[in-house]
Structure formats: C-alpha cells, structure tokens
Chain A
Amino acid sequence: NAGVTQTPKFQVLKTGQSMTLQCAQDMNHEYMSWYRQDPGMGLRLIHYSVGAGITDQGEVPNGYNVSRSTTEDFPLRLLSAAPSQTSVYFCASSYSGGGRSYEQYFGPGTRLTVT
C-alpha cells in the first residue's frame, strides 16, 4: 500500500491564481481530511469528508473548496490564492473500528508559497 499520497510536494503561486492540491489513499478509508500547518499553531482542519459525496467545513475553510467523488481521492482547491494561504498542507485519512479506531494517517504534505 502507498498509504496517503499528495501532489505536488512544492508549489509557488502568484496572488489570485487558483490550483488544486491532490490527495489519494489506497487503504479504503472512509474519512479524509485536509489540514494546514503554520509555525507555532499546530495543524488546523480545513475541510473533511466522511465518505464519497459528503464533505463539511473545518476550522479554517475560507478560500478553499473540496469535493469527494470517490473513496480514494479528496482534492483541495484554492480558488484565488492569497499570501495568507502560504502554509504546509497535509491530507489525512482514517477509519472506524479496531483497536486504533479513527487514527489518522497523514500524507507527506504540500509546501505552498503564495507571492
């Protein structure tokens, strides 16, 4: 299993550009989430999904869109990039059941810079 994969690893955008960060998992997990990590602030939840076709907002959803058409994929779209969106973005997936219920598995991250 590849686990959780994210592309690209690095990206530089100009203010106002749009782009999509890709996230895929091959573990058949029903839950997937996007977090951003900024220095000194831990990780903050952007959007999450409890299954294909179902998404909801997290703590910091403004400026981002998500959709989930398949169990495997959960892309994050930046509609009009702003310097405040400069961050490291992590995708995570999790499942229910078993001794490690709901444990989240994190992808390698995408480092995004908006100039």
Chain B
Amino acid sequence: ELKVEQNPLFLSMQEGKNYTIYCNYSTTSDRLYWYRQDPGKSLESLFVLLSNGAVKQEGRLMASLDTKARLSTLHITAAVHDLSATYFCAVDVEYGNKLVFGAGTILRVKS
C-alpha cells in the first residue's frame, strides 16, 4: 500500500524566512503534484513534476522531485503572509486515475 508522508504537518514561520516542506512516498512513481488549499476552498494546482530531477518554480515557491529517493520538496523563499494555506503533495500511481495524498502541511506566515 502506497504511503505518502508530509512533514512538517504544521509550520509557523516569520515573514521573510525560508523553509522546506518534505514529501516522502513509499513506492515507485515519477509523477507528483503539489496543491494549495485555502480554508473552505478547493484545491489549486501548484506544480506538476513528471520526471526524476524535475524542478519547477513559481514566485516564492520551488518544487523538486527525486524519484530515486522517493522524495519531493517544496521550498519557500522569503515567505509572505499570502502564502498561508494548506499544502498537499500527491503521488500518481495510475496515470491520472489514482492520486494518493499526503496529510497536508498547514503553513502560517506571521507578519
């Protein structure tokens, strides 16, 4: 059974600081997704990582994928309050049909 583990599950950080969220998974896959969810809202796609070594950046967020280590990271640079949300990683185990999600990381950026 595939397990996807995110850590930390809760992150409180000061504006301007850097931090990394980790996503480990237990089976072979080369497709991993990061989503953002605001309270009471749906999931918004942030990054699609489709191969080993993939790196994507958007604004203050950068995601990477190491399929050999079964690890993805979401790095936050110079955090701002607007980044406060819950971030999920999800591993695709059947070509778009089956996503297995991590439990999510609640990020709070304090000004």
Contacts and interface: CB of A to CB of B under 8 A. Distances in A.
Pairing of A with B:
yes
B101 A108 contact: no
A31 B97 contact: yes
A26 interface: no
Interface string B9-50: 100000000000000000000010101000001110100101
The 9 A-B pairs of least Cβ separation, nearest first, read A102-B96, A42-B101, A94-B96, A106-B43, A43-B101, A42-B103, A106-B42, A31-B96, A48-B97
A12 interface: no
Contacts of A44: 101
Interface string A78-105: 0000000000001010111001111111
Interface of A: 31, 33, 35, 40-45, 48, 50, 56, 58-59, 90, 92, 94-96, 99-109
Interface string B56-100: 000000000000000000000000000000001010100111111
A105 B95 contact: no
A96 B50 CA distance: 12
Given A31-B96, A96-B96, A104-B33, A43 B42 contact: no
Contacts of B90: 42-43
7 contacts: A42-B101, A44-B101, A45-B100, A99-B50, A101-B48, A102-B31, A104-B96
B88 A42 contact: yes
A108 B42 contact: yes
Interface band, chain B: 20 to 34
Contacts of A42: 4, 88, 90, 101-104
A44 to B, nearest CB: 7
A33 B98 CA distance: 8
A106 B101 CA distance: 14
A96 B95 CA distance: 8
Nearest to B93: A45
B97 A105 contact: no
Nearest to A107: B42
A90 B42 contact: yes
A7 to B, nearest CB: 14
Nearest to A111: B40
